[in-house]
Amino acid sequence: MRVGIIGIGHGVFGRRSDATVQELAFEAFRAAIEDAGIERKDIDCSVIGAVPEYHKQRSLAGVVQEYLGLVPKPTWLTEVACASGSAAIRTAWLSIRAGVHDIVAVIGCQKMTEISTPEILALMGRVGEVQWESVFGTTFPGYYAMFAMRHMHEFQTTPEHLAEVAVKNHFYGARNPCALFRKEITRERALASEEVATPLRVFDCCANADGAACLILAREEKALEISKKPVWLAGMGCATASMSVLRRPNLVGLPSAVEAARQAYEMAGVGPGDIKVAEVHDCFTIAELMAYEDLGFCKKGEGGRFIAERRSYIGGSVAVNVDGGLKAKGHPIGATGVSMTCEIARQLRGEVPPDRLVPGADIGLTHNVGGIGQYCFVQVLKRE
């Protein structure tokens, strides 16, 4: 049984002091049901992707469900750090494939600005292994700085390669009205920005944001009945890696991403060369370089050359993060995975503005990482 995307909704990412998390969720939900041409009564249940520690409200799914007017239908929360949105999509996909539900609303939503930056840093650091790593003050930039240093050591990757990722993503983010940062930057500006954790600088790091995105999923018969342009979830992969990076086989890639990609490609019956457009988890510029390699877009160690040759731009081998990615769009962690899938579905439907539309895209991919690679979800989407 195929599962199709029939509705897409996406709010503006940023410092949204104008809205509560429930209002952010409603903003995206309303757009998605209007896009699908359905009503609340047609939805069987909802799945909410969010990380509750960032909100003053606990049991977030309940308040979102009530605000959306979906009570008494069932709802539940998925949480796997920054991959919570993709976990919500997979959960909804599984419930439809199991025959339990026909139409499911998936909402990724997050308010990152209700707590202070030091509190956020502490929470992020504890996504790593608490007993042996986070007690020594590890932070997300610190972890990814280790990946970057090792990649540079083994493959002669340079700070200029990292800066080129930021330049590309800000170039496309400037053309996305939903992005947090809508200004282009130069490589010189990126390289001159303040150092955060050697070798990563400010422009190598994504920013926290508030925001929400929503997808309406339906089983095949319903999708074809309701929508003239369904996008199919053709390949669904997910995998995990050790909590401690010290127990990983290397620090130049994410084994969870390699395995999740293998599963998704196999299920969809495609390979890396078939992907026309991709959303990858660029929480840091080095993360995008590693994703090129982990997903098979280039060989291990060639990620720096891949971006330097502009092969991840529109018109290159595969267009990557042409909505700005986490880097320019912002990273409301519960919403990110849903946002990625919204972007790919819109690309495949040809509904993206011409200045960042990938011509002829019929197969796309999302790559959403939770924690420091402890979790990874890869989806292959197709449009007939």
pLDDT at 343 over 90: yes
Residue 52, amino acid: P
* Residue 360 included in any domain: no
Backbone angles phi, psi at 217, to 5 degrees: -105, 150
How far from 85 is each of 32, 235, 285, 378, CA to CA, in Å? 16, 17, 21, 12
Place of tokens 């960042």: 356
Assign 235 a pLDDT band (cuts: 50, 70, 90): very high
| Spatial separation of the C-alpha atoms in residues 133 and 369, rounded to whole Å | 19
* Tens digits of residue pLDDT in 1-11: 999 999 999 99
Q: Which two tokens stand for residue 358?
A: 């990938």
Residues 6+ apart with CB under 8 A from 66: none
82 is catalytic: yes
Backbone angles phi, psi at 104, to 5 degrees: -130, 135
pTM of the model: 0.97
* Residue 365 included in any domain: no
Q: Which two tokens stand for residue 240?
A: 């995990």
| Spatial separation of the C-alpha atoms in residues 110 and 159, rounded to whole Å | 31
Residue 120, pLDDT score: 77
302-313 burial, b for 16+ CB within 10 Å, e for fewer? bbbbbbeeebbb
Sheet bearing 75-78, strands edge to edge:
75-78, 45-49, 103-110, 211-219, 3-10, 231-240, 375-382, 363-370, 277-280, 319-320
Q: Which two tokens stand for residue 82?
A: 């920054």
| Spatial separation of the C-alpha atoms in residues 380 and 373, rounded to whole Å | 19
* Residue 157 included in any domain: no
DSSP letter for each residue of 13-71 = -B--TT--HHHHHHHHHHHHHHHHT--GGG--EEEEE--GGGSSSSSHHHHHHHHTT-T
* Residue 75 included in any domain: yes
Full residue range of the structural domain in which residue 64 is found: 3-115+208-226
Assign 135 a pLDDT band (cuts: 50, 70, 90): confident
Peptide bond into 118 cis (omega under 30): no
* Residue 321 included in any domain: no
* Residue 63 included in any domain: yes
pLDDT at 287 over 80: yes
Assign 298 a pLDDT band (cuts: 50, 70, 90): very high
**Count of structural domains within the chain:** 1
* Residue 35 included in any domain: yes
* Residue 29 included in any domain: yes
Q: Given 10, 45, 55, 82, which residue is catalytic?
A: 82
CATH number for the domain harbouring residue 76: 3.40.47.10
Residue 136 DSSP symbol: G
